[in-house]
Structure 1
Amino acid sequence: METILNGTLGGLVAGIATALGAVPVLIGKTLSQRASDTLLGFAAGVMLSASYFSLILPGIDIATEQYGSTLIASLIAGIGIALGAGFVAWLNSSLPHEHFITGQEGADAAAMGRIWLFVIAITIHNFPEGMSIGVAFGDGTTSGISVMTGISLQDMPEGLAVAVALIGRGYSRWKSFLVAALTGMVEPIGALIGASAVSVTHEILPIGLTFSAGAMLYIISHEILPETHRNGHQNRATTGLLFGLILMMILDVTLG
């Protein structure tokens, strides 16, 4: 129960960080496309670093202890990564949603309001992040805090980017803020599910850790990086990615 509680609270912290990041839109602050791409690159770097240092490597270490073989541990990690990426790919193809630039994807979305298409798109993005936090707490409090801190840091600029993008689509400041905050609240739900799953038995922890990593890696490649390279700001986005990766690596080594 302690693991489940800590994991859920960790997801809640990340969700609140998303809402806090969107607060500036209420006082009239805007975000340039260049800054938005830089911050999204930073988010990708944080997620990339967290995937490897906080999820994949610990998953391999735990599986090696369980089975006494680095080969088996590596195969388990590979299966977990593939399952996580496949899960998000399935969500992406099954649920109707809309991206800020590429437009509508998934199932038929003609009957749904566009604001809900945005909500679903960001939910697909945030849910695996929440799962990652919950699963990481199953590996130990320090690992959970490391992942929670890194994801919360990248959730703040992400919340602002979402709110600003919605304002650009014609929504009011308050509505844009509330939608951005709402998308963050899916993270404690994902954290609850992730922490509960690994609390049932320690044996599934390696799969849980690498599954979460695979889900985030899919999001990085399919969602974030293409968005940051569409407007000619790829150099800034790459700089943001490297800074986010290094920062998360330092956090993981220091806290973990």
Structure 2
Amino acid sequence: MLSVAFLELLKPSVDSVGLYFTVSFLLGVLAVYFVDVLLPHDHMVGEVVLDDLRTRMRASLLLAIAVVIHNFPEGLAIGSATAVEYSLGSRVTLAIGIQDIPEGLAVALPFIAVGKRGLALLFAVASGLSEAAMALIPPLLGGLAPQLLPHLLSFSAGAMIYVVSHEVIPETHNHGYEKEATVGLLVGVVLASLLETLGA
């Protein structure tokens, strides 16, 4: 997500509108911040012992809600990139799609573990639909006002970077797997950078 935000979203936005990207970038950050405030979803605290069904269900629901919310900026990123240029949209979609696989498993497996397969399917579908719905917005806005497209790219970048910094990185370091999380982050950056280079 970080590589996509910097290489595929911010770079073309800066190239197009210069320093004005900062306005829409900060608006993207603020948008996700206010969503977090209005729809609080605690981090999955590593110290909590999930030794009863009720606690495990609450943790699973919080995680699922967080993932659904965090798919909003990913959908905006896909829609914005595709509206600007089809090849750019393809690269962004592929990169986000790759990271959506473990994300989807992270949503589904906790529900399956407590015997709630129906909820696993429900939130997996909701996660995908939230992303798809948000992906429709940038092309519609871009059709009405094409000059908005570079700003939609930086808006999406700001939202994604906020999510990674505020939610994803702290969460991956919250369960005693700091080294593995760091390696995963670096591998993700390399893979996304390769996709951008090969697609250039």
Same fold (TM over 0.5): yes
CA offset digits 1:183-225 (Å, max 9, x no partner): 1211110000122122222211221100000000010011110
CA offset digits 1:105-149 (Å, max 9, x no partner): xxxxxxxx9576554322210011001100001210000001000
Across the aligned residues of Structure 1 and Structure 2, the Cα RMSD in angstroms comes to 2.1
- 1:171–1:199 Cα change, 3 Å: farther
Of 219, 225, 229, which residue of structure 1 is paired with 2:173?
229
Look up the match of 1:48. 2
**Percent pairwise identity:** 39
Look up the match of 1:88. 32
Look up the match of 1:219. 163
CA offset digits 1:30-66 (Å, max 9, x no partner): xxxxxxxxxxxxxxxxx00000110000101112xxx
What are the residue-to-residue correspondences of 1:170-181 with 2, within 5 Å?
A: 170-181=114-125
Look up the match of 2:51. none
Contact 2:83 2:139 in 1 (8 A): yes
Look up the match of 2:11. 57
Task: Say whether 1:210 aligns with 2:163.
Answer: no
- 1:116–1:172 Cα change, 3 Å: closer
Contact 2:83 2:149 in 1 (8 A): yes
CA offset digits 1:156-204 (Å, max 9, x no partner): 1110011123345x35234313322321211110000122122222211
Contact 1:96 1:120 in 2 (8 A): no
Give the Cα separation in 1 of the matches to 2:39 and 2:83. Answer: 29
- 1:165–1:99 Cα change, 3 Å: farther
Look up the match of 1:159. 104
The one-letter amino acid of 1:255's match is G
Contact 2:78 2:92 in 1 (8 A): yes
Of 62, 69, 72, which residue of structure 2 is paired with 1:127?
72
Structure 1 stretches of 5 or more lacking a match?
1-46, 64-72, 103-112
The one-letter amino acid of 1:91's match is V
Of 227, 231, 244, which residue of structure 1 is paired with 2:188?
244
- 1:212–1:118 Cα change, 3 Å: same
TM-superposed deviation, 1:254? 1.6
Give the Cα separation in 1 of the matches to 2:182 and 2:43. Answer: 21
Contact 1:131 1:195 in 2 (8 A): no
Q: Which moved more, 1:241-250 or 1:198-207?
A: 198-207
- Tell me how many residue pairs correspond in the alignment: 190
Give the Cα separation in 1 of the matches to 2:70 and 2:110. Answer: 16
**Secondary structure, counterpart of 2:92 in structure 1:** helix
TM-superposed deviation, 1:231? 1.6
Give the Cα separation in 2 of the matches to 1:135 and 1:50. Answer: 12
Contact 1:88 1:218 in 2 (8 A): yes
Give the Cα separation in 2 of the matches to 1:228 and 1:160. Answer: 15
Contact 2:8 2:88 in 1 (8 A): yes
Give the Cα separation in 2 of the matches to 1:192 and 1:116. Answer: 26
Give the Cα separation in 1 of the matches to 2:92 and 2:159. Answer: 14
